[in-house]
Structure 1
Amino acid sequence: MKKIYLAAALCWLATLSFAQVRTRSLKPETVKEYSRFVPTSKKALSTVQLPKVNVSQLLKEDEKEASLGLPFRFGKALDVKINLANSGKWETVDGGRIWRMLIDVPEAKTVNMIFDRFYLPEGATMFIINGDRTVVSGPIDHTQNSLAGTFSSGLLKGSSVIIELFEPAEFFAKTELQISKVVHGYRLTPMAGGFGQAAPDPCERNVNCAEGNNWQNEKGMVAMVLLNNNERICSGSLLNNTCNNMTPNFLTAFHCLDLNEDGAAGGDEIAAAQTWHFMFQYMSAGCTPSTDDFNVVEFAGATYRAGWNISDFALLELNQTPEPGTGVVYAGWSRTNAAPTSSVGIHHPKGDVMKISVENNVATSVDWNGVGPNTHWGVNFETGTVERGSSGSPLFNQNHRVVGQLHGGRLTGGDYEGRCINRDARYGRFDVSWVGGGTNDTRLSNWLDPSGSGATDVGPLTIPSISGPSVLCTSGTYTLNNVPGGVPVSWSVSTPSGVTPTSGSGNVANLTMINPEDVTITYRIGCNATRGITRRIYVGPPQFSGFLVNGQSTSNGSGCTNSYIPIAAVPNDPSANYYWSQSDPNGFIANATQSSTAFTGYNASCYYLNVNISNACGSRNETLTMCLNNCFAKYSVFPNPAKDYITVEFGQIESAESLPDEIVLLSEKSTTPVENIDVQTLYQRNGLKNGKQVEIDAKALPRGTYYLHIKNSRLQEKKVDVVRILLD
């Protein structure tokens, strides 16, 4: 079976486009679905311990700056130099190696990081999990590489994080990772499990309350932004342009960037945007009480495009383009000078889950503290309010168009405190920012109207996607969805011998396969340019070219008893279902429903493994013969069944090299180790009983079946002996 690639291409500027990236925070029960992470005790991990911070002093500083209009500070960035060479521990695994480490940040409420060196080769994946193993961010892969060579992580609750990196064997030592800053989050937020000093005002309303019923599309346009060493918070919105080409333009407040308050975007401030972190979909699922459901779509880094302090706008372009299915939406906008007859603000006050504020009256055209007449829209919210952290958030008019971004409150310096009493807010006017200071780097016009159309109103854009069958047996219909109305669409096929027809107009393509050849169909929409969305289509029944045993192609495998032997049916076909089986009770297949798994045989014998591979177009059965020998006879395990103690006794011990690395005891009902014994360290400390025994105290363990894993990674091929133990 061959693959077809369908690329839906939308118009785009002739500039560099970074690959799509999405980082998720997941509930604990889904961690294993997204990570190679093996639950390990913190004591077993290589750890970097950071110093405590003086929270009392930081809170005093926060009180002093509350009236200065600076972005809300939630954490303290600590300078570090943590990299693959000086920290963590590598472990060889099938197909490559894994690097793990733990960063302990004493008494922190949340932890996030900035990487000043970041490069992942193709096939490498990284996950970041909090120490309590309740939230995980990832997978992070090569599509997050940027020209700046930097990366940033989002907030994880708790006082420690575990980083896990998988590097494939074919790209050995090609990964670059170095953490330059670890942010100690000292203010309580919903993500940290409470509010405390960072409590938002009680009049705030969650975006999923009744007030937000008519604004559900807009909540996908707004993000919380970590900035200024990623220890402060602002808000902002993703904007559409006149080409509808998915250029990820992001609007926020200029003062979020201009931390030295000199009214200009300095070189260091512009460069710092490459490490900003954008968190979409951070909201409570319901109205009350507020909850944090750990389902945040995140993007790392952006390029500064334009800004102007008079209307307080800053426009950036995210380093990644959001993909279909993320819930992220591009906001529409209006650059007319008509005052909104009613207004809505959507924002993240003090790092809180997304809130909505409603103004039912006409906005007024105002200045900003006497500077620049008619540069801002003034509103006074009847429902909700705005606070520090809300800066940069969009103001939507009655037509659901962005008409400004939040500068601050009416009081001098933008003081947000006590906002439930005084709910007025001032937003830099979008129409004023459109012409800005008259140059490309001080106005919106050339970035949001790249075609020079002169449009004054642009609607929102839901990211286009391709629908159609995932497996094409004979013919199928593929549709480009969410195409803006009135925009002409055409498509063409790159390999005419693969399908018919080979071109057409409209957003629907009815394809019939001629030959199982790779095909790319390109949709063109507006602006006479392309931007690709690729979907893989599999054609015909599943293909099979052979088996891999320990990474080697073979039809008859061999190995050792009581060891995990990696096996795989190739090629791996994501469209297919796999089911492995074998009838010998002395054999065990680790995961019977994936193309790659592992086999263990407990007796020296030949085993016959069958795999059924099926998809919508058909199925096939293939058989692998595995003949195993008893390779290890240097130890014995007794008694078995056991009651109080389990003893592993080794024969002649000539040196540490003749001993395994570790012995792990696992229950049949859990993958969490019951005991984890470092045999090498025990030997070096003369800790072996009678000079040759490892004794495991089993008196307190529940009765049942256990498995003893005896691991040795110093052999040419990593070996793991598995011994079944019964406690009675």
Structure 2
Amino acid sequence: MKRRFFVWSGSLFILFVSTALLFRVLEPSSSIFPEHREVKFGETVVAFGGRDVSPVTPVVAPGDQNRSAPVGTLELPPFSAEELLVAHPPRKGAPLRFAEALPVKITPSSHGRWESRGGRARWVFRIEAPGARNLNLGFSRFLLPRSARLELRVGDELQVRPFTAADNDAHGELWTPVVAGAELELLLEVTQEERSQVQLQLASINRGFRPLSFAAGYWKIGNSAPEGNCHIDVVCSATESGVGPALDQYRDQIKAAGVYTLNGEDTCSGSAVNNARNDGTPYFMTADHCGVRSSNAASMVVYWNHENASCRTPGSGQNGGDGNGPINNFNSGAAVRATYSASDMTLVELDDPIDSDHEVFLAGWSRTGTPEMAVSVHFPNTSEKRISFDFDPLRSTN
């Protein structure tokens, strides 16, 4: 399907993609997170904050009957998700923190195991993080040759699409989507001729203490989405929604909303937007208070089309229960183009074009007139995409 780019016209539409995930973050206690020390391949015991662990333990990767060679495993010290949930409660004015970053320095030459198969080299590295609800990774150096592909696997099942040379960017970083669970296996394959061209350094293992509905392999936060009448599944019909034909006016704009992670630790939301040239540049607008800056924009991972497959009756218990929104449509990396704290706005340009198969709409904008009503497309507590309406009279302010 061809990508469609429109500048929305008519009465003013303001797409309030609400960051329902607006919360202030507290600093973690040093007793919860041990000081990290670099782990060197081949060592049998390494101290993390005074606690001895065995980071490189020969194991056989589960679920792969064809793999006979042992695989290097980095076992992280356990941490308490419950304590961190208490330390980082949802609060207005800041993004929702869901994970804690652990700085590391891991490369294919220092960790894991290389093996050869049919003219191709394979590097396998396993991470075990007891107590983690989910995991995501930040690479400070990511440069793959054309023949290489990096996969994230759990139980030998591919969790998200493979990463390739197409994911190389000028800033040299790569941040992955969130994967549910406490274990993750990295599998890198490359031709023997191009093995020396691989530049890969894992700098941050981000351990989740809060479940996320858009974590690969995880359906949804259980029973955490609001049940109010204003939180309408975006797939609902006009009749099912309870608001009538007003919903159908925003079918395109609904497709613009995206939820994202930042620094591998926080989550917020925003909207894909068009420009005056109508040229399809992948701009994404979010709130300034979400904390996206030039120094961390590369860590943004934006998820598209995270919405339930069916309409749950607004205000019902089902509406606040488990959903089934997909998590395989995403963009990784961005650059800040503008920010204005007075209006709580930040504009970024995504590193890569948005895949046309995702059918993302680039929302239009206008600076004239006063809208007749307020509409919010949002992700309450990272649950599937909802739409809310406010039919009260609005007014313009400076």
**TM-score bin, normalised by smaller chain:** 0.7 to 0.9
- Alignment of 1:207 with 2:234, yes or no, is yes
State the shift of 1:304 in Å: 0.8
CA distance in 2, matches of 1:217, 1:45: 47
State the shift of 1:188 in Å: 2.5
Q: Summarize deviations over 1:115-151 as a string: whole Å, max 9, x none.
A: 111001112111112x245651112111111111000
Q: Tell me the equivalent position of 1:279.
A: 303
- SS state at 2:255 partner: helix
State the shift of 1:68 in Å: 5.1
- Alignment of 1:319 with 2:351, yes or no, is yes
Name which of 65, 68, 75 aligns with 1:49: 75
Q: How does 1:613-628 map to 2 (within 5 A)?
A: none
C-alpha distance 158-257 of structure 1, shift in aligned 2 (>3 A):
same
Q: Tell me the equivalent position of 1:154.
A: 177
- SS state at 2:85 partner: helix
Q: How does 1:100-179 map to 2 (within 5 A)?
A: 100-129=124-153, 131-133=154-156, 136-179=159-202
- Alignment of 1:59 with 2:54, yes or no, is no
CA distance in 2, matches of 1:103, 1:276: 22
State the shift of 1:311 in Å: 0.3
Compare relative contact order (CA 8 Å, sep 6+) and give the higher one, 1 or 2: 2
Q: Any unmatched runs of 5+ in structure 2?
A: 6-60, 242-246, 313-317
Q: How does 1:223-372 map to 2 (within 5 A)?
A: 223-227=258-262, 229-257=263-291, 269-288=293-312, 290-336=322-368, 338-365=369-396
Q: Tell me the equivalent position of 1:218.
A: 253
CA distance in 2, matches of 1:352, 1:222: 13
CA distance in 2, matches of 1:255, 1:158: 29
Q: How does 1:649-728 map to 2 (within 5 A)?
A: none
Q: How does 1:68-79 map to 2 (within 5 A)?
A: 69-79=93-103
C-alpha distance 92-214 of structure 1, shift in aligned 2 (>3 A):
farther
Give the letter aligned to residue 206 of structure 1: D
State the shift of 1:281 in Å: 1.7
C-alpha distance 45-220 of structure 1, shift in aligned 2 (>3 A):
farther
State the shift of 1:49 in Å: 1.0
Q: Tell me the equivalent position of 2:221.
A: 195
Q: Tell me the equivalent position of 1:681.
A: none
- SS state at 1:216 partner: helix
Aligned residues: 317
Contact 1:135 1:294 in 2 (8 A): no
CA distance in 1, matches of 2:251, 2:72: 44
CA distance in 2, matches of 1:38, 1:138: 20
Q: Tell me the equivalent position of 2:15.
A: none
Q: Any unmatched runs of 5+ in structure 1?
A: 1-7, 11-36, 259-268, 366-373, 376-728
Q: Tell me the equivalent position of 2:47.
A: none
CA distance in 1, matches of 2:121, 2:255: 38
State the shift of 1:80 in Å: 1.6
Q: Summarize deviations over 1:323-353 as a string: whole Å, max 9, x none.
A: 32222221122221x2211232112222212
Q: Which has the larger radius of gyration?
A: 1
Give the letter aligned to residue 83 of structure 2: Q
CA distance in 2, matches of 1:341, 1:135: 47
- Alignment of 1:81 with 2:116, yes or no, is no
Q: How does 1:366-445 map to 2 (within 5 A)?
A: 374-375=397-398
CA distance in 2, matches of 1:52, 1:294: 29
Aligned residues: CA RMSD: 2.6
CA distance in 2, matches of 1:102, 1:68: 37
CA distance in 2, matches of 1:239, 1:166: 37
- SS state at 1:325 partner: helix
CA distance in 1, matches of 2:330, 2:85: 28
CA distance in 2, matches of 1:68, 1:362: 25
- SS state at 2:296 partner: helix
State the shift of 1:216 in Å: 3.4
Q: Summarize deviations over 1:391-438 as a string: whole Å, max 9, x none.
A: xxxxxxxxxxxxxxxxxxxxxxxxxxxxxxxxxxxxxxxxxxxxxxxx
Contact 1:78 1:183 in 2 (8 A): yes
Q: Tell me the equivalent position of 2:209.
A: 186
Q: Tell me the equivalent position of 1:628.
A: none
Give the letter aligned to residue 225 of structure 2: P
CA distance in 1, matches of 2:385, 2:133: 20
CA distance in 2, matches of 1:326, 1:194: 20
- SS state at 2:297 partner: helix
State the shift of 1:52 in Å: 1.8
CA distance in 1, matches of 2:179, 2:158: 7
Q: Summarize deviations over 1:146-185 as a string: whole Å, max 9, x none.
A: 1110000011111111111111233121111111111111
CA distance in 2, matches of 1:142, 1:237: 27
CA distance in 2, matches of 1:128, 1:67: 32
Q: Summarize deviations over 1:630-686 as a string: whole Å, max 9, x none.
A: xxxxxxxxxxxxxxxxxxxxxxxxxxxxxxxxxxxxxxxxxxxxxxxxxxxxxxxxx
CA distance in 2, matches of 1:152, 1:40: 26
Q: How does 1:501-516 map to 2 (within 5 A)?
A: none
State the shift of 1:293 in Å: 4.7
Q: Tell me the equivalent position of 2:50.
A: none
Report sequence identity in percent: 27
Contact 1:344 1:358 in 2 (8 A): yes
C-alpha distance 213-188 of structure 1, shift in aligned 2 (>3 A):
farther
TM-score (norm 2): 0.73
CA distance in 2, matches of 1:295, 1:72: 19
